[in-house]
Structure 1
C-alpha cells in the first residue's frame, strides 16, 4: 500500500470551537486489543459500493450518498456491539486512496467517496482527507473535479432555529447550510432526547425549514404537534450541544440506522453551527458537572411543601431525597422540572440499578406524586401528564 494510505495518521484534534468537548476519532484507550473482525468485510462492502457514487450530479447528492454508504457499515458493526469507527474510517481512506492510485474501473467511485468524506467528517478528519486528496491529485490530470472541489466548503448561513416538544425533553436544532454558489440552501436537523443524558434520536438534510419541522414533528409524535421553530437567540437555546457526547464510549448498540448514517455528519454540522453562532456572539454555556454541583435541597423543599398541601402530611424524607437526586442528576440546566415518559423510565431504571428494596419501593411509591408536581409546575397538559404516569406501568 502506498505512503499516502499507510503510515499517515490524521492530525490530533484541536480544541473545540465552543463549549462542546472535542471527540477524537481515534481513541486508543477505548479499543480492545487486536484488529476487529468486522473491519475487512466492512471495508470490502464499502469499497464495492463506491461505484455508485461516480454517477451523482452534485454536492448534496454526494454528501447524502457518502453518509449512507458509511452509515450502513457503521450500523452493521454497531449491531454486533463493535466500535472503533474512527480507526475503520482511517483504513477506508487508505484503501480508497490506493484504488485511486492504481486506476482501473473503480478509481472514480473511490475518488468521489474521498470527496464525500470531506463534507461529512469532523473538521480534523476532513482536513486530513483533504491532504490525501491533494497528494493524489497530480497523478489525475483528467479527474474533472468541477464541483467536487467544493465538497469541503459546506457552511452554515447563520440561520438557525430551535424546536421543543410539550414535555420539554425533545429538542430539535435546525440550521441552514449551503455549498458555494450556485448551491441551493438546505436545512440540517439535529433531534435530541434529553430525558436522560442527551441522546441523538435522528438527524438529516431537508429542503427547507418547513420540511425539517414537519419531519421532526412526525419523528417525535403527539408531544411535538404544536411546536413552532424559534430563532436561536442565546447559548441556553443550544445548551444540549454542551452536554451531548457522540464518542464511541457512549455507543449502546441500539442506535438507529439514521443515527449511524449521521454518525460523523451530525458532529460536523454541530461544530459548524457552534462556530456560526459564536460569530454572532452566541456561545455555548460552560460545561458543568451535573452531579458534583447538584443541590437537591431547594427541590426537596418545594416538593415537600406541595405534598403537604395535597396530603396534609410530609413525604418520607429519605425516598424524597433519593428521588430528587436521581431526577436531577441527569437533568440539563433549565430542564429540572421537565417530565416525560422516557425521563420517568430513566429514573426507574436508575432506582433499580443500585437502591435496596425498601428505599427503591419508597421512591417508586412517591414517583406518581413527583410526576404530578413537576407537571403542575410547568403546566403540562393533562394528556401528557397521564402518559408520563403510564410510563411507570410500561416498565413493569
Structure 2
C-alpha cells in the first residue's frame, strides 16, 4: 500500500466533523469533495509516484464502513462518521453501491437525523444538457441538470472539458442555474468564451467523449485543486448522466478506439 494512504485517511477521519455543518445533500457532497480533495492535493505535492487515487478511495471507504454499524442519534460521538459515510457514498462510483450497501441504506431511511441525510448518495441526472463552446472549438463546457429524489434541490453540474487529444476534464462544479454555470465557465476560459451561449444538446452522440475524459486511474501531476476536489464527484456525475440517458432511450454511443486520439 502506498505510504501516503494511512496518514491521509487519518486526516480525513480527524476532520470529518466539518461535514456536520452541511444543511442539505449538496452541501454534504461539496464538503466531502473538498475534504478528500485536500488529501489528494497533499499527495500530489509530495511527489509520490504511487498516486492510486481510486485505490485510496476504496481503502478510505472500507475504513469508514467498518466503523459505521447503524445511524447514530444526534450528539453521538460517532455521528460524524455516519455523515462521512453518506458523503463518500455520494461521490462513490455507482458500482460501489452494491446490493448489501443499498440494503443498508434502505434500512437506515427513516432512522436518520436529519431526514435528508440518506438522500445524499441518490443524486440523479434529469436528462437536461447544455453545451458551451470556446472559440478554438475543442474547449467545451457541458452543463447537466441534476436533482435528488422527489425533484429536491434541482441544480446543474458543469464539466469543463478539453476534447482534443488527450481528452481531459479541466475542472467542474455545481451551480444553482445554467446562467451561473455559464458565467463561471466563460470567466475561467477567458476571451475565447466571450460569445459563448448555452445550447441544448439533443443528440447524445455529441457526448460520446465525456466518459473518456474522467479516468480515475490517470493522474498527470498537473491537476488543479478544483480538479482534485471533483476527482471522484465528476466521475460519479458522468455515470449518473449516462444512466439517465439510457433510461430515457437515448444512450451515449461509445467512441471507436481508432477515433479516441482525434480531436472532437
TM-score by length of 1: 0.60
* SS of aligned partner of 1:255: coil
Which piece of structure 1 moves more, 88-97 or 197-206?
A: 88-97
Which piece of structure 1 moves more, 276-285 or 54-63?
A: 276-285
Matches within 5 A, 1:150-189: 150-181=119-150, 183-189=152-158
Is 1:253 aligned to 2:221, yes or no?
A: yes
2:166–2:261 Cα contact (<8 Å) kept:
yes
Gap runs ≥5 in structure 2: none
Mapped to 2, the partners of 1:128 and 1:67 lie a distance apart of 24
Mapped to 1, the partners of 2:102 and 2:147 lie a distance apart of 23
1:241–1:270 Cα contact (<8 Å) kept:
yes
Q: CA deviation at 1:275?
A: 2.2
Q: CA deviation at 1:101?
A: 4.8
Is 1:48 aligned to 2:44, yes or no?
A: no
The change in CA–CA distance for 1:168 and 1:160 in structure 2 (over 3 A counts) is same
Comparing both structures, which one devotes a greater share of its residues to strand?
2
Matches within 5 A, 1:52-131: 52-79=18-45, 80=47, 81-101=49-69, 106-127=77-98, 130-131=101-102
The change in CA–CA distance for 1:270 and 1:44 in structure 2 (over 3 A counts) is same
The change in CA–CA distance for 1:146 and 1:156 in structure 2 (over 3 A counts) is same
Q: CA deviation at 1:78?
A: 2.6
Comparing both structures, which one devotes a greater share of its residues to helix?
1
RMSD (CA atoms): 2.7
Q: Give the paired residue count.
A: 259
The change in CA–CA distance for 1:133 and 1:77 in structure 2 (over 3 A counts) is farther
Gap runs ≥5 in structure 1: 1-34, 292-328, 336-396
1:211 is aligned, of 174, 180, 185, to 180
2:158–2:181 Cα contact (<8 Å) kept:
yes
Mapped to 1, the partners of 2:79 and 2:158 lie a distance apart of 31
* Larger CA Rg, structure 1 vs 2: 1
2:86–2:117 Cα contact (<8 Å) kept:
yes
2:158–2:173 Cα contact (<8 Å) kept:
yes
Is 1:271 aligned to 2:202, yes or no?
A: no
Matches within 5 A, 1:27-38: 35-38=1-4
